Amino acid sequence: MLKVRIIPTLLWKNVTLVKGIGFDSWRRIGTIVPAIKVYDTREVDELILVDITATLEGRPPDYESIYDISGECFVPLTVGGGVCHLDHIRNLLRAGADKVAINSAAYGDPELIRESARMFGSQCIVASIDAKRKTDGTFECYSHAGTQPTGKELGAWARQVEASGAGEILITSIEKDGTMSGYDVDMVRTVTGNVRIPVIASGGAGNYEHMLHVLTAAHCSAVAAASIFHFTQQTPLEAKQFLAGHGIPVRNFNVRPSGARNGFARV
């Protein structure tokens, strides 16, 4: 089994970090660079940074800000929001992003993922999918920050972006986002059951048990979370301690044979 990644998500609106519930009711929670610096000291494996208004406002990514942010970030950084063209991806990578998340633009231009994977490598391309549960129990993909239904069934779309060359998939439950009530395991399982590339579960983490549940029940490769780290005392390092204690292999974490609290090293 590949080692699991713990990935904090930073949502960015007008140069300010925000967090909402269900992709709405955005609450200001701070500024980006101080948060990046804190996470750099907390044993995170990667960070995801998304400009939540770029697509809605029809503007490209803010390359200058990404350049400044990436200079303070010493873990792999995935950047999304407003990515519509190959030039956007090229400029984000030049600005310091390690990976680029593509979401809304892919529905209107299915070749965007294929062309970007061909030009920059699949390892750089993350297919970001936001979805909601329908009354019949299936899941539909949404674009434009969760505001526009696409008519795409989740499993079929996941297969399509994988076939197009995406290196991994970030699946976010719109309804679970910010609720801290647990991941939508069925939604994540719908993706992992249809693809072979790594899948990142997002939306709903409220405690370490939620992470353990989605990892073991849906067999995803990573868990992304925001509210749990912004609004509680829980930390990425403690998440790794908890998961390791339940037999989940995690990155950048060593278990001491003895002499540490609960048998785990506190770094």
Q: Which of the four pLDDT bands, split at 50, 70 and 90, describes residue 141? A: very high
User: In this structure, how many other beta carbons lie within 10 angstroms of the beta carbon of residue 223?
Assistant: 24
The beta strand positions in the chain, using DSSP E, are 5-13, 16-21, 24-30, 47-51, 77-80, 99-102, 125-133, 139-143, 148-153, 168-173, 199-202, 222-225
Distance CA 156, CA 195 (A): 10
Q: Which residue has the tokens 């955005």?
A: 26
Q: Which residue has the tokens 């407003």?
A: 82
* Per-domain boundaries in the chain: 5-235
Q: Let me know: does 205 contact 225? Beta carbons within 8 Å.
A: yes
Residues 29-52: tens digit of each pLDDT: 668 888 888 888 877 899 999 998
pTM above 0.75, yes or no: yes
Which one of 3.40.50.261, 3.20.20.70, 3.10.620.30, 3.40.50.2300 gives the CATH number of domain 5-235? 3.20.20.70
Q: Which of the four pLDDT bands, split at 50, 70 and 90, describes residue 20? A: low
